[in-house]
Structure 1
């Protein structure tokens, strides 16, 4: 029969705790590289991008992703990098417009889309509708 003394048990216990801590430490997330960003910062985080798309565009315009983003060629999901839909370039123009309005008229020094610092945002005009005040194309 093997007899372990307290010293060996303490060392084994610390070893087990360290092994569990190392195993539980999340791996470094892979850096996401977005393509075809023309207004948004190239280094935007997935959390910031998702928040902006949901809070600003979906809520402010009452639309879903496929309003601006084209279907993927394989028919599964959306092709977020594609410029096939004209609504995407319209959205870019609207983003540039709100940045310009906030800088010029409200003296927001470095307007950042998706922040509460903006006075003018999507909801200012759209109020949850894809086309503000009956401006829907015919």
Structure 2
């Protein structure tokens, strides 16, 4: 009789321990349903899209709320909403980069339709800034430039003959 009680107690403790371990393990989360995908493949896994968004936000030095709005009722990001014009601009820029990579760099796509390798991406122009400025290069003097005191390209400066 005594052995049966010890076995029952041990089995009970073991079962409680197993339940505790199972409860403390991270539960497999259901991936959110992706809607309103206009430039990404419809079957893109959430983790791939999420990683791509992380790369884009780092390339522009912004956070999610730069392109996405917050739902005031749920206080969560509404990623499906097209309320911000920046989201549509991001789509257009993505298509532009894809065209450049296909035409000039022969970029291939994977089974999902995502570009596998690219030579041009968001960071190429943005360098971590949301609105990169178009800059005109400074005029160089010295080797390859006009001689000192001589006229520059296009003739002498205004007011000189």
- Does TM, normalized by the shorter one, top 0.5? yes
Deviations 1:53-90 (A, max 9, x none): 1122x110001101000121416122111111111100
Give the alignment's Cα RMSD to 1 decimal: 3.1
Q: C-alpha displacement at 1:127, in angstroms?
A: 0.3
> For structure 1, which runs of at least 5 residues remain unmatched after alignment?
5-11, 13-21
Report what 2:90 is aligned to. Answer: 91
Which one has more relative contact order, counting CA pairs under 8 Å at least 6 apart? 1
The residue correspondences of 1:1-138 to structure 2 (distance < 5 A) are 2=1, 30=30, 32-56=32-56, 58-74=57-73, 76-110=75-109, 112=114, 117-133=117-133
Cα 1:31–1:68, aligned 2, differ >3 Å: closer, same or farther? closer
Contact 1:73 1:79 in 2 (8 A): no
Cα 1:100–1:72, aligned 2, differ >3 Å: closer, same or farther? same
Mean CA deviation greater in 39-48 or 82-91: 39-48
Higher helix content, 1 or 2:
1
Q: C-alpha displacement at 1:44, in angstroms?
A: 1.7
Q: C-alpha displacement at 1:91, in angstroms?
A: 0.4
> Does the residue aligned with 1:71 lie in a helix, a strand or coil?
strand
Higher CA-based Rg? 2
Cα 1:26–1:127, aligned 2, differ >3 Å: closer, same or farther? closer
Q: C-alpha displacement at 1:40, in angstroms?
A: 1.0
Number of positions where the alignment pairs a residue of Structure 1 with one of Structure 2:
126
> For structure 2, which runs of at least 5 residues remain unmatched after alignment?
4-10, 12-21, 136-161
